[in-house]
Structure 1
Amino acid sequence: CESFNLQYGTNYIAVMPTNLYGPHDNFDLERSHVLPAMIRKIHLAHCLKEGNWEAVLKDLNLRPVEGVNGQYSQEEILNILKKYGISESGVELWGTGTPLREFLWSEEMADASVFIMEQVDFKDARSHINIGTGKEITIKALAELIMKTLGYTGKLTFNSSKPDGTMRKLTDPSKLHALGWHHRIEIEEGVQRMYEWYLK
């Protein structure tokens, strides 16, 4: 982008987003990112703990896990959920729960991008612009926030024999803040909105 701008007089600006989450996210347990995966895992564990088998079947009919949907036997369903750390007794997540992550509501990423296109020139930006909140939360604290949001009182465990991944992934959005854009949706509100969307 910078080379094109210098050579051809274009006004391209590269943006670098942090972890995004929001409506239409990927809740596939095999391929989803951490936040939607945790919401779904805790939701399913909550349904199992409450004995709400109908909700479990509905969930699997909408989003089968490894081809297993609500038409399978109860034993087959419980086995596939257990493979992903979901059971009547609790939820198991990979790693130690100590890595820090930053999350931005996806619609705010869109809003920030439009703001940059309309308000910012390359000569003012000079290089890429980070789009994020500049705030981070541990995986453990995020899981506990989701549990609280869902009203789930089951057991949460971390399997430290599994990888944690990168310990920190925090962006510095100070350039974007200086240009006049700030995020508005904090993680607590975002998780609530995300779960409401998921249930619908």
Structure 2
Amino acid sequence: MEKSAKIYIAGSGGMVGSAIVRQLKKEGYTNLILKSSKEIDLRNQKDVADFFNEEKPEYVFLAAAKVGGILANNTYPAMFLYDNLMIQNNVIHQAYSTNVKKLLFLGSSCIYPKFAPQPIKEDYLLTGELETTNEAYAIAKIAGVELCKFYMKQYGCNFISAMPTNLYGINDNFDLTNSHVLPALLRKFIEAKQNNAPSVSIWGTGSPKREFLFVDDLAEASLFLMKNYNDPQTVNVGTGEDISIKELAETIKDIVGFDGELIFDSSKPDGTPRKLLDVSKINSLGWKHTTAVSEGIHKTIEWIEKNNFSVFK
């Protein structure tokens, strides 16, 4: 991928897309196409077709998606399925129609069966039932993976897909009603410390285990795959290490410096018991994460403070 190549980052305003932009700029790529959701509605077929025909990008990072945590996925399943299917279908098809050299589709580890053997290998996809709390989002992402595979099979397109584990970091969503667990906990503990609260309430029992990847590591992996991977089978991107929600909460509590009590609300859903990716494939290709969870949390807090906590509003 030449440094002057025309590269479109779909979703460049989001956490993942903005991290990919940072990584591309860091590595000297200068011809980046950045369009906000206000400038182009990726759910609109004509708008996307017009955009691709006008801009004619050579490479595409498809990081645009409607995302949210358990509550948002449970509350708006039709919206999650529809919006994500439309975004993916439009971008992938127009990439084919305008002869894009290569496309990377970013999915989510929630595509794998709820009770998949751990750690989860890439070939466990479509071997069991999904977790009901994020089923709609997972179905959309599975469709995106399969679409890339079949465009490669039928048309010879170099469209690849990667499945990141749970992400967090700079430009994350900290809205308590629809964010993921790590940013939600970060906000809860920071605000509890600021307000001298006696305790922090946490959804579920604290027993589920999750793997967390700092978003800048994913950006680095995405560029690595764009340069080095050309296979129709999806590839997992993660750390290969997990931590219980209870341990995560205690880690954030210590880093933030909150002295109060942790209260686990077992009336709220836990979600999937465990979700650890097998990352031996991407490791064998030559990429490995570099940011430990505690370091990533520190970097995220630094960014929050630099923005004067405005990301909480």
1:113 to 2:260 alignment: no
* Partner residue of 1:139 out of 245, 251, 255: 245
CA shift digits 1:93-151 (9 cap, x unpaired): 111100001111111111111101111222xxx51001111110000000000011011
- How far did residue 172 of structure 1 move? 1.1
Aligned to 2:164: 17
Return the match for 1:30 from 174, 177, 181: 177
Equivalent position of 1:154 in the other structure: 260
Aligned partner of residue 267 in structure 2, secondary structure: coil
1:90 to 2:237 alignment: no
* TM-score, scaled relative to structure 1: 0.76
Instruction: State the distance in 1 between where 2:149 and 2:202 align.
Output: 41
> Structure 2 stretches of 5 or more lacking a match?
1-147, 307-313
| Runs of 4+ residues deviating >6 angstroms | none
Deviation at 1:2, TM superposition (A): 2.3
Corresponding residue SS for 2:291:
coil
Percent of matched pairs sharing the same residue: 50
One-letter identity of the residue aligned with 2:249: A
1:56-108 deviation line (CA, Å, top 9, x unaligned): xxxxxxxxxxxxxxxxxxxxxxxxxxxxxxxx211011111000011111111
Q: How many residues align?
A: 159
Matches within 5 A, 1:1-200: 1-49=148-196, 88-122=197-231, 126-200=232-306
The offset of 1:4, in angstroms, is 2.1
Q: Which amino acid aligns with 1:114?
A: L
Q: Quote the offset at 1:152 in angstroms.
A: 1.1
Q: Which runs of 5+ in 1 are unaligned?
A: 50-87
Q: Higher relative CO (CA 8 A, sep ≥ 6), structure 1 or 2?
A: 1
